A and B are shown apart, each in its own frame.
Chain A
Amino acid sequence: MGEFKVHRVRFFDYMPSGIRALAFNRDIERIAVARMDGSVEVFHCSDRFFQEKIIPGREQCGIEGLSWVGERLFSAGLNGGITEYDLTNQKVKYTVDAYGGPIWTIAGNQQGTHLAVGCEDGTVKLFEVNEDKIQFERNLDRQKSRIISLSWHPSGSKIAAGMMDMIQIFNVETGHSVHRLLADRGVGTSRSKECVVWSVVYLSDGTIISGDSVGMVKLWDDQTGTLIKSHNVTKCDVITSYLIVPLEWQNEDSLVAGTSEGTVVQFQFISMVLGKDDKEWVRTRTFKNHTHDIRAVAEITTAVVSGGMDAQLVVRPLLDKVEVRSAASALRKIHFPHRRLVSCARKSGLMLFQYPGHLELWRLGESEGKGSSLFVKRNPEKLLHLKVKGEDHIRCSAVSPCGEWIVYSTASSLRLYRLHCDNNNVSITKISKLPMVLSSANQLCFSSDSSHLFSASTQSSVHLVSLSQSGCKFVGTLKPKSGSHQAIHLLAASEDGKWLASANSDHEVHIYNLQTRKAHCTVPVYSSAVTAMGIHPTTNCLFMMYADQQMCEYSIEQKQYTDWSRMVQRKGLHRFWMERDTPCLNVMFNPQHPSHVILHDTYMLCIIDQSLPLPDDKTQFYNQLTLKSLPEEQRKSHSHAFKVCKTFKDILCVELMSDQSLVVVERPLEDVASQLPAPIKQKKFAT
């Protein structure tokens, strides 16, 4: 089949940011994740947890809470503001200052009418949720200590607020405190430390459940204000006050708590005697999937989702709620974003790494000699370190195939640079006087001859800008004929410069004719999100990968699926292919072998040879070792279309350069783990 020279790159120091808050919206099956760096991501729970939307963060914006109100998403943080997000265009819609100091918690009521925030100054502030804004309504009785956690009674008439050493129950109507529940401090040395009620949950039957820094989950009765039961979920022999027990409940019969030791404990409201109605909260299951402390947990329909300082989102299925065991219901750990953070200049051997606050441009090394591991004649070289202006983090970036242009966009600005490389002198010039339309972009892409820049903008439109020595010039805007206005997250230009394809988060793929600058056609909408796509250089077929691991090939010229694509749909893909749990992030073509399509996900690199038969469920899917052991003449009869290479792990990006070499950017998880801060408490032996 063939050999590839591979540049294995491990110097992209990408560090995922720790997870601070989770919010699950059952109606639209989305889970929102807030990270330490202020970014908010939205995952689609029923579409293999595809990361649909990413709203980049800002410097100094520590989000402490997330809350869905209907389909609107709000966050509040230590900067004292409440932020609503524009999920359609994936950006911050507005921020309102609550004037109560840092906000520790935010909670919306079930009716969707009010938001409550708990502030440092000891007030619980109520905001009315209007059509397009939120409006401050009033404060509840001010307390002496900060409000750490909040929970609305499902009726919306009462609020439980967790504070230092106590829980207050407020009547929303009057704003007065109804009850004061005193939380015990720990014993021994931790006695002098305050007990922080990190989390409260108010159930409809009047039970209040609290999780505190002592490591206890306590059940209270709101009528009498008494403690019903307490569960010790984590050892309280540590003096630190960071024993965090975030709580999340779903159906009032199940509740999960995360601990600083990285365990998730499930409690269930079940009858102690079979068949009796006499139910109690019982600690049932313990999961340990994190190395660091858990900062947020959520229970979704069939799984427990947890996240914490180790920056991974863990989806742990609850097997009693899963009806059919499948790949979709397996344990899932999401380490890396489902977007490409690396772009490569194919013709000049440059790589652009996108960090939240800066860009790095590297030149690949050179090799000589032969063998399986080549001598590196020239080491890779960092050419450029480009810091972002302003506080916003980078949303997207690109380097042109020729390596002459670099572009990036934040939420507020877009910058285009021209790169000059004379021998070892590298200099850049910022292109000033950009057209007005290029104020911000959701996705950026250069044409293959580097003559044009495509910038995905609001309303699912794409702006077309021509680039030249003198500067850039706005050429036109490509707009879809109809459909949704969701932000575009993928762009793909054809090699001959004739076609451009765009994919948005409503799963729509529009194809534009760049010569006429008109919409050419729309690929039939599939139920799963497009995770990667590419246009074939010779046949001009659009090859798309979906989050549910399906693949389609669509002929742009004929406006229909190709025969191969239909055959794939008819025969179905191999079980092992469907069971992979990370989406494919890039589609590449090898001009020397037009029948080859190169794909990759986090764990493998795959070349699909469209001329070979498809594997069925009986054939050995991962057959590379078998084929290697066979003599040349027998390989043909044993090979199938999927050639999977599992040599690489933790792949962030694979790109095929124009000299036929592959660039594989790996980010080993061990390296990530070694750069994480030390866990608060690590379990050692029998401690």
Chain B
Amino acid sequence: MATLYEGYTLCGVGPVQNSSNIGILGVEQGRDIDYVLVTDSSRSITVYKVSDQKPTGSWSVKQGQIISCPAVFNTQSQEYVVVTDDRVVRVWKEDDVNLEKAFKATVSADVLRVLSATDSEPVVLFCCGAVRFLDSLLASPQQPIEDVLTEDEIIRWSTIVKAEHQLVVLFSTEQRGEHCLYVQRFNPNTLVKHRIETEPGLSAPISFSATCRGSNIHLLYLYLNGSVYESVLPFRSSSTGAEGVQALSCSLCLSLPLGEEKLMSGAAVVLDEAHVAVIGFPHPSAGACKDYLCIWNTHFQTLQASKEMAGRIYSQLWCYSGKLYVPHGKMLSVIPFDCQKSSLAAAMGKLKQTSRSGKDFSVEIWNICPNVKSALTVDQLVEHIKTSAVEDVQAEVGEFIRRAPQADLQLAAGRVALELVSRSQTDANFYPQCAFLQLLETRYLCYSVCPELLSLAMVKKDFHLCQIAFQIFSDIPEAVTCACLKAILSTPDLEMETVNLDTDSVIFMKELTQAHSRSDEEGGQLNGFCPPALESDVSDTPSNKLQRDPLSLDMSCPVGLHKGALLNEVLQTAYSDRSLLPHLKDLTVPQVIVFLQYLRFLYFKYSHDAHKQIRALRTPSISQIIDWVCLLLDAHFTVLAVAPEAKRLVFDLHKFVRSQVKLYAELGKIEGSLQVLKNSKQSEDFGMYAIQVIELF
């Protein structure tokens, strides 16, 4: 199941000036995964640190000059490269302030793009189809450039793919309605031309995306009619001497549903072997509005996740290191996503979702690059934590957890968590929630290993982390439990509902509150239980006379779903009465009343067997609920006796408990009778004489 997370805006998109109707020329990978290079169509190139949503550098060209291709970062020389006015190649470093003073060279032919892959020399693709390495081009800028393409053949799209230290440049061309794919391999330099053959009647492919898997390049291309085709190219050319145009075999791997409106543009990008992100195509169930970003599963043809994009869509989509970059309206949004291993059950939504929100997803194209930061030791990681940015830290921790052997992880998890917590406590901006969640999920943490974590989460109001910690830690001291309880009770429901919580617990709460309405509709209690004591009590309280069933009114949940889910976690923690009691006294009167109301709600629900129908992994047991009621009554006896707002609550509770006591007293009688029956069967006491039959075997 793929997930699209809450996105955020990286930068605004300037007013469209040029004819191409495109605000952003391109988004390219910066010096590491947290940096991107945004080239807008006006005159500026900006480097952003994605996790901070902050620009770290910006350069612009002089008025009159035009940036003709997206800037790229040369990871080998740590330099930026851009082409202005089609023929001027400019190269500069991070600390160069003025682009004008940077190195520039004028080449002899129009440059289409500069393509750069990690740890390799950038490649310059000329409009005529010729390809040069940047360094060789800059060595003699005025070298003649041969024409590869015919005169009216125009390059529509180009990319570079790197695997096994081998670079491949792909570009597609259009010539009088005929589409070709050129595959340029290096060392030895070969250029193979493929003709893209599709069913007749199809117009031009509007979007291409290429990834490298195994020893093949997978090329995905999208047509306006919603068809997504896939072609597989061998990475190394099998037949070096092959002449002429080869037909490119392709297969339909996805048919996107089309709306009523005629589509003009769209874009697709491959996320992993089974998922593809598509923008510009309508959501199958959202009607005419086409401004949706969707993730489709190509294996099962299912829509996995979608997100509405406000504003105009530019049919541009980039994907770097688990984040999608979508220009829409007047902004460029960054949307993190997560694609999990797909199974049919997951694709159909039947598999129980385990919360793995912090998992660092890696697109194939990044996986094939040797990861520099993979083999961190604990000490290195701890050092990094002290200084690095949140995003880096989260990625590193995730990587560390994935790679470290279990035994080492057990020792390291606590240390890493401690370091993260201590940094978070000193640095207000630093709070790597994902890293904490990942560490918790290893289950090597417990409260005593990292006592500050829970209080930190409380301070940060990170109730999701609190919830996971409550589920995983078995040694939370009573004082902390109470502090958390207090924090949960004092947080307004509105604020609480926005918190991302473990779905299972929320579903349980949802079911619990719904079970109430359902049983109401059925017009009676499910097990036919009718407390006899209530009838007699009605006469004591005239206000109750109007209500046929005084209990049914109080069956509404006094707290929100999310708060309820969190309270359930508190109820399920281990504690000892004596230590809990003094801390429980710290609750304020409204908190006590709300909590007691909630406990009463649960108790009523449970007594009506509503919970039995709900399948959830973690639910508070009836005895836990009763224990907490007892504790709460013990701790705030006087408060509940005096507070006027508690009167009604206590009265109701008492009435119900009394009816239950009467019921159980009756059950006790039955049990006694049954016991006697059982005993009389087993009784050995036959008096002075009996005639029995024994059997020996």
Contacts and interface: CB of A to CB of B under 8 A. Distances in A.
B691 A372 contact: no
Contact of A1 (B686, B689, B697): B697
B696 A4 contact: yes
B693 A3 contact: yes
Contacts of B696: 1-4, 607, 624, 643, 645
B690 A8 contact: yes
Contacts of B688: 9-11
B694 A11 contact: no
A5 B695 contact: no
B695 A367 contact: no
A380 B689 CA distance: 8
B687 interface: yes
Interface string B673-690: 000000000000011111
Q: How large is the interface on B (under 10, 10 to 19, 20 to 34, 35 or more residues)?
A: 10 to 19
A371 interface: yes
Given A1-B697, A628-B697, A643-B697, A6 B689 contact: no
A639 B696 CA distance: 11
A606 B629 CA distance: 59
Interface in A328-380: 365-367, 370-374, 376, 379-380
Interface string A365-399: 11100111110100110000000000000000000
A373 B696 CA distance: 15
A7 B697 CA distance: 20
A627 interface: yes
B541 interface: no
Contacts of A2: 695-696
A332 B695 CA distance: 30
B697 A3 contact: no
Contacts of A3: 693-696
A7 B692 CA distance: 7
A11 B689 contact: yes
Nearest to A8: B690
A27 B239 CA distance: 113
Contact of A4 (B686, B690, B694, B697): B694
A374 B691 CA distance: 6
Given A8-B686, A10-B687, A373-B686, A624 B697 contact: yes
Interface in B646-697: 686-697
A2 B694 CA distance: 9
Contacts of B692: 5-6, 8, 372-374
A558 interface: no
A376 B697 contact: no
Contacts, number: 71
A5 B691 contact: yes
Interface in B534-559: none
Interface string A1-41: 11111111111000000000000000000000000000000
Contacts of A7: 689-691
A437 B456 CA distance: 107
A645 B690 contact: no
A6 B691 contact: yes
Nearest to A629: B697
A5 B693 contact: yes
A9 B688 CA distance: 6
Contacts of B690: 7-8, 373-374, 376
B691 A365 contact: yes
Nearest to A11: B688
Nearest to A12: B688
Contact of B689 (A5, A10, A607): A10
A515 interface: no
Nearest to A366: B691
Nearest to B690: A8
A404 to B, nearest CB: 24
Nearest to B695: A3
Contacts of A370: 693
A8 B686 CA distance: 9
B684 to A, nearest CB: 9
A574 interface: no
Contacts of A367: 691
Nearest to A370: B693
A160 B514 CA distance: 94
18 contacts: A2-B695, A3-B693, A5-B692, A6-B692, A6-B694, A7-B690, A8-B689, A10-B689, A11-B688, A365-B689, A367-B691, A373-B692, A376-B690, A380-B689, A607-B696, A627-B697, A639-B697, A645-B694
Interface of B: 686-697
Interface of A: 1-11, 365-367, 370-374, 376, 379-380, 607, 624, 627-628, 635, 639, 643, 645, 647
Given A1-B696, A4-B693, A4-B694, 16 more contacts: A1-B697, A2-B695, A2-B696, A3-B696, A6-B694, A7-B689, A7-B691, A8-B689, A8-B692, A9-B689, A366-B691, A370-B693, A373-B693, A374-B690, A627-B697, A635-B697
Top 3 nearest A-B pairs (CB, nearest first) are: A627-B697, A367-B691, A11-B688
